Structure 1
Amino acid sequence: MTDLLPPLLPRAPHGGPTSRTFAGLDFSVNANPYGPNPRLVEALRDADHAHYPDPGYADVRARLAAWHGWDADGVTLSVGASDLLHRLARACLPPGRTLLSVHAPFGELARAAALVRAGVEVTTPGRVVSKITPGVVLVYVGHPHNPTGHAHTAQELLTLADACLAAGALLIVDEAYAPFTAAPIPPAHPAVVRVLSPGKAHGLVGARPAYALASPEVTARLDNLAPAWHLPASTAAVLAALPEGGSFLAQTLPQVAGGARDLAAALSTFGPVEHHGTPYLTLEVGDASRVAAALLERGVRVRDCASYGLPDRLRVSTRLPEENGVLVRTLAEILKGGEDG
């Protein structure tokens, strides 16, 4: 009987809060430091919390569909991208089949694959098409990828989508960080599932707004796995207000980009930096987990990249300029003191 149940697995590692109280500077969360977007906060506060929402969220779907030039029947709403990825695994990844990921996948998707007893294979951008073989039913790309920052060109995405369609697979394009960059919009394609989590760009990750754009057939399978009223009224209101939130992005995202460039330049004095226009970057420091622990002792949290297969790198997301200065000075103290091993 237990063989038929999902295995009991540890939680995927993430940046941000843990069970331990932390009141310092948190560089482990990749979100807009100038948020939250006031227009979305207004929508959240004005939401009707006294009544059940429409269980189908027709108005929210219609607004997002019109904004994207999409079919409302192809919009799936969610509390966080993690839920969408778990539903995609449950709906589209049978036991024994394979999830193919370009670079290491987001931890929640890897965990979702393990829960349905499927395999995960990691590949590189140049080899991914040749790896779409029988048994591969989901292909995942971060666009851009976290933490490497790699993004695909429009032609690369189309080639991937065509290869997936020919193989009977779906291409998941995770656009969590696309608003921060010039990453091209994925093609409207029957094999493509676009996963969008705008809370990061709008500095409102606690509201957990997320949605997917896909074919109506895939959307129906995802909706089938969601209970009625799966979206709180506040999160639904935030999603409905997204088309009105663009001025905040236009004002703040250039500042985020500038802060990330300045931080990358400052940290490059300590070691090789990998940065591709995202709000986050990686820094090679040797024993990253040890350096991260030393920073945490001094009230500064960063993310080590061991879970991504990069144990020598820290992932750092830009904050406000004066806060970035604290990170640079603290890291200088640690590395000059030899605490990186």
Structure 2
Amino acid sequence: MTPAALPPLLPRAAHGGPGQVPFSGLDFSVNSNPFGPNPALLQAVRDADRTQYPDPTYHAVREALAAWHGTTPAQVALSTGASDLLHRCVRALVPPGAAVLSLHAPFGELARAVALARSPLSVLDDLTRPWPADTALLYVGQPHNPTGRILPASAWPLVLRRAEEQGTLIVVDEAYAPFTTLDPPPAHPQVLRLLSPGKAHGLVGARPAYALASADLCARLDNLAPAWHLSAGTAALLERLPGASAFLDETLPQVQAGAAQLAGQLRALGEVEHHGTPFLTLRVGEAAAVTSQLWARGIKVRDCASYGLPGCIRVSTRPPEQNAALVAALRAVLAPAESSQALGGETHE
């Protein structure tokens, strides 16, 4: 096979969280529940039997999730992380050269999957505008990362009608929906719901994820997965998930309150976009430079350049005392003269 026929070699997508360079400060770059992990789900992971192969069909896990969502086991597709499901969606449903559309800037793994498939990716901020005629897949972050914007209920009839007319699959990424009061998307054969509960339960390292879709689509996604594609711990977490909501009832109101308070404090420093999610964006001018300066102060944030927002950083709420440290560091970086005066220092021309 000639090199031109092989998938291109692409750099990894940018993400928050740990990287190759060690960091031991306060990390605001990860959108995970700061009050986690959920003790019940953590115990499920610890108790999982790692001495035996799991059932390769994961039937008990599918049954538990299907009963919880009022669907059938055949309409549940399991995954280690939402990223894997996005890559499989593109491989299964986007013909070579067909268009992929994203409402606002896409999650980096979707963009990378589309690039590996050598298909064009278009970004729209308004889905009432014309779509490419051969749009095979539409990605909707509900809510969107990093802006927190949503596709309003009033827009769904038009979006579904176009999807039916053009044969477009709508992938609704609900990674951050548990942090909000959003209703699920309409049940429809053209809609795939993508859920990654590790964020809300503070267990992102376990990588739990699953899709709810038609039986045919789930079969196509399963067809692209290797045998035993979930570890025993991840499978156990997902099987226990339906009975683990008490942790969310207790902690998510605290997350919402903390994020709202943080947004209010940061509005004194720049333009903030926040729509009830645990994260928000702050316009800082040169985000790369600000990110570097904060790193030097022991604060890690997410530079939004990979989302097409090079002037913004994204931060996710943490406990109050840590949020206060973030605000103080940002004030020092963005308004050093004012900070020096507030501390009784002197400034010089």
TM-score (norm 2): 0.94
1:29-70 Cα offsets, whole Å, 9 max, x none, are 000000000010011111111101110001100100000001
How much does 1:129 deviate? 4.0
| Aligned counterparts of 1:185 and 1:211: Cα–Cα separation in 2 | 15
Q: Does 1:138 align with 2:137?
A: yes
Q: 1:312 — aligned with what? A: 311
| Aligned counterparts of 2:114 and 2:128: Cα–Cα separation in 1 | 20
RMSD, matched Cα: 1.0
| Aligned counterparts of 1:335 and 1:291: Cα–Cα separation in 2 | 8
- Contact 2:134/2:166 (8 A) holds in 1: no
Q: Which SS does the other structure have where 2:314 is aligned?
A: strand
Describe how 1:277-296 pairs up with structure 2 within 5 A.
Answer: 277-296=276-295
Q: Which SS does the other structure have where 2:310 is aligned?
A: strand
- Contact 1:152/1:183 (8 A) holds in 2: no
- Contact 2:99/2:132 (8 A) holds in 1: no
Q: Which amino acid aligns with 1:153?
A: P
Describe how 1:109-258 pairs up with structure 2 within 5 A.
Answer: 109-125=110-126, 128-258=127-257
Gaps of 5+ in 2: 338-349
- Contact 1:132/1:167 (8 A) holds in 2: no
Q: Which SS does the other structure have where 2:311 is aligned?
A: strand
| Aligned counterparts of 1:17 and 1:98: Cα–Cα separation in 2 | 33
Q: 2:102 — aligned with what? A: 101
1:222-264 Cα offsets, whole Å, 9 max, x none, are 0000011010000000001111110000000000000000100
| Aligned counterparts of 2:131 and 2:200: Cα–Cα separation in 1 | 32
How much does 1:162 deviate? 2.8
Q: Which amino acid aligns with 1:201?
A: A
Q: Which amino acid aligns with 2:304?
A: C
Gaps of 5+ in 1: none
- Contact 2:170/2:192 (8 A) holds in 1: yes
Q: Which amino acid aligns with 2:256?
A: A
| Aligned counterparts of 1:76 and 1:129: Cα–Cα separation in 2 | 30
Q: Which amino acid aligns with 2:6?
A: L
Q: Which amino acid aligns with 2:23?
A: F
* Structure with greater Cα Rg: 2
Q: Which SS does the other structure have where 1:311 is aligned?
A: coil
| Aligned counterparts of 2:103 and 2:9: Cα–Cα separation in 1 | 26
| Aligned counterparts of 1:17 and 1:180: Cα–Cα separation in 2 | 23
Runs (4+) of structure 1 exceeding 4 A deviation are: none
TM-score (norm 1): 0.97
How much does 1:156 deviate? 2.2
| Aligned counterparts of 1:71 and 1:151: Cα–Cα separation in 2 | 28
| Aligned counterparts of 2:240 and 2:153: Cα–Cα separation in 1 | 28
| Aligned counterparts of 1:107 and 1:90: Cα–Cα separation in 2 | 16
Q: Which amino acid aligns with 1:27?
A: F
